[in-house]
Amino acid sequence: MDQVERLEAIGEIRRMKARYFRGIDEKDRDLLREVFADDVELDYRGSTTDPVTGINAAADATSSVLRGGEECAKLVVASLQGIVSVHHCSEPEIEIHDASNASGIWPMVDRLRFPPAAPFSEMIGYGHYRETYIREGGKWRIRTLRLTRLRIDLTPA
Amino acid sequence: MDQVERLEAIGEIRRMKARYFRGIDEKDRDLLREVFADDVELDYRGSTTDPVTGINAAADATSSVLRGGEECAKLVVASLQGIVSVHHCSEPEIEIHDASNASGIWPMVDRLRFPPAAPFSEMIGYGHYRETYIREGGKWRIRTLRLTRLRIDLTPA
Amino acid sequence: MDQVERLEAIGEIRRMKARYFRGIDEKDRDLLREVFADDVELDYRGSTTDPVTGINAAADATSSVLRGGEECAKLVVASLQGIVSVHHCSEPEIEIHDASNASGIWPMVDRLRFPPAAPFSEMIGYGHYRETYIREGGKWRIRTLRLTRLRIDLTPA
């Protein structure tokens, strides 16, 4: 790959990740399906636990490993039923390995406002997505995602 | 447009939008004037209302449609008198349509700290700017902006 | 420099700044050393004071001017002992001046969760990094950094 192809690949991966965030916060299953590789693996284990205090929000579908593009798009949207979510990122580190493989680290914050009946009214989490990307069908997609945490804030209902 | 011209256009639009954010938070009318097209339209309708709860902050100049570069720069700065504002964005989706037309979606959060006399001490809003851009006088500028919301948090004074 | 070299330089500076943020939040002294020029100057004066209210968190090592790559990497990590920090940025304005000089403005927010014995449980700061960059040893690095503030929120312990 030449310099321009690398710059183009980084730009495509950034736009794809922006669609991931919007797909989650707008609960758009089709948009999410598009950004996930067919054999995607999403590892959210530990993502509801504060790494310093050990305090944990109630375990749910998003605190385990999810697999497969269709399944992941469906489960991620299902896990956010009734929740208002806002996921934002900060500046990423993206490395292009070759024409169809790349990896990236995205600093992130997610804010979940839970419905009235939930044990918590809100969870705010800070951490990093550590990801690999694959180019399939002419499009960059997420192949693996692991969410690590710096801090979790929970507000009891 | 070739690949490099597209990459360059995306970079210019990003820098321009960064100046928009700084123009607002530093209340810099000249900086704002520069990023607005002469016939810009800013649609902030509904941007002070939480889309789930329906709770609304007091209506003000920024909750309507503003038009014209000079007028918008003046009104945006005027509407923030006495307010400490912080506007941040997350990763955008920018599409270049041709050499002088583009569009973009920017996830955003704004935090307004109101002066002591106001009914609320703070408003935090989460949403997306949905924008079109035009290249005029050799510079990319905002032609239309619509602010949609995911969530609004209000703190009573 | 041609257009592609400028795009490449901006991309390298963005990735380098992303490593700066991760170096701080993961308290990784080696990572920080790498992003600082040998004669770096970090000016954090006033960065713990709200510019409107004048309220100030207790002065510490990070509220002064730090100099030198080795010293800065050491002191920044030391100043965060026992603190959980999260530093995020918004879209930057980066200007490439020539093949080895550049400057940038990065909107930012930092959240510091202090240990139980501290006078404050948390400080949240909003502002801008105003920086210059130098290319040395084939790598873009931070030459000078000044942190200006829009707002500081302090939560008493």
**pLDDT digits over C78-119, tens only?**
999 999 999 999 999 999 999 999 999 999 999 999 999 998
- B51 pLDDT higher than 90: yes
Structure token pair of residue C69: 């790559």
Would the pTM count as exceeding 0.95?
yes
Window C:138-157, CB contacts with B under 8 Å = 150-151
A23 CA: distance to closest CA in chain B (Å): 12
B35-to-B73, B96, B130 alpha-carbon distances in Å: 9, 17, 15
C25 CA: distance to closest CA in chain B (Å): 19
Give the mean pLDDT of B105-124.
Answer: 95
- A105 pLDDT higher than 50: yes
Residue whose entry in the numeric block shows the structure tokens 């005027």: B78
> Comparing A40-44, B60-64, C91-95, which segment has the lowest mean pLDDT?
B60-64
Predicted confidence at residue B63, as pLDDT, reads: 67
Predicted confidence at residue A64, as pLDDT, reads: 83
Give the mean pLDDT of B35-56.
Answer: 93
Is residue A28 within 8 angstroms of chain B, CB to CB? no
Give the mean pLDDT of B94-117.
Answer: 97
Nearest CA-CA partner of A125 in A104, A150, A145, A107: A150
Predicted confidence at residue C56, as pLDDT, reads: 85
Size of interface A-C (CB pairs under 8 A): 49
Predicted confidence at residue A59, as pLDDT, reads: 56
Nearest CA-CA partner of B119 in B77, B85, B154: B154
Predicted confidence at residue C141, as pLDDT, reads: 98
Instruction: Provide the CA A66 distance to its chain's centre, in angstroms.
Output: 12
Predicted confidence at residue B64, as pLDDT, reads: 83
* Alpha-carbon span B33 to C119, nearest angstrom: 44
Structure token pair of residue C104: 């940038």
CATH number at residue B86: 3.10.450.50
Predicted confidence at residue A151, as pLDDT, reads: 97
Which of the four pLDDT bands, split at 50, 70 and 90, describes residue C61?
Answer: very low
| Burial annotation B2-29 (CB, 10 A radius, 16+ → b, else e) | eebebbbbbbbbbbbbbbbbbbbbebeb
Range of the domain at A145: 3-156
H or E stretch at C73: helix C69-79
Q: In chain A, what residues touch B52 (CB-CB under 8 Å)?
A: 84
The model's pLDDT over A77-91, given as tens digits with 9 standing for 90+, comes to 999 999 999 999 999
Predicted confidence at residue C75, as pLDDT, reads: 96
Q: Contact, B63 vs B48, CB < 8 A? A: yes
Size of interface A-B (CB pairs under 8 A): 49
Predicted confidence at residue C62, as pLDDT, reads: 52
Which of the four pLDDT bands, split at 50, 70 and 90, describes residue A61?
Answer: very low
User: How many domains does the structure of chain A reveal?
Assistant: 1
Predicted confidence at residue C59, as pLDDT, reads: 56
B98-to-A9, B72, B135, C129 alpha-carbon distances in Å: 20, 26, 10, 34
Q: Contact, A93 vs C22, CB < 8 A? A: yes
Closest in A21, A85, A113 to B91, CB measured: A21
Asked if A88 and B94 come within 8 Å (Cβ–Cβ), the reply is: no
* Alpha-carbon span C48 to C149, nearest angstrom: 8
Q: Which chains touch B (3 or more CB pairs under 8 A)?
A: A, C
Is residue C4 within 8 angstroms of chain A, CB to CB? yes
Q: Contact, B144 vs B41, CB < 8 A? A: yes
C4 CA: distance to closest CA in chain A (Å): 7
Residue type, A25: D
Which of the four pLDDT bands, split at 50, 70 and 90, describes residue B58?
Answer: low
Give the mean pLDDT of B135-155.
Answer: 96
H or E stretch at C118: none
A109 CA: distance to closest CA in chain C (Å): 9
The model's pLDDT over C116-135, given as tens digits with 9 standing for 90+, comes to 999 899 999 999 999 999 99
Is residue A3 within 8 angstroms of chain C, CB to CB? yes
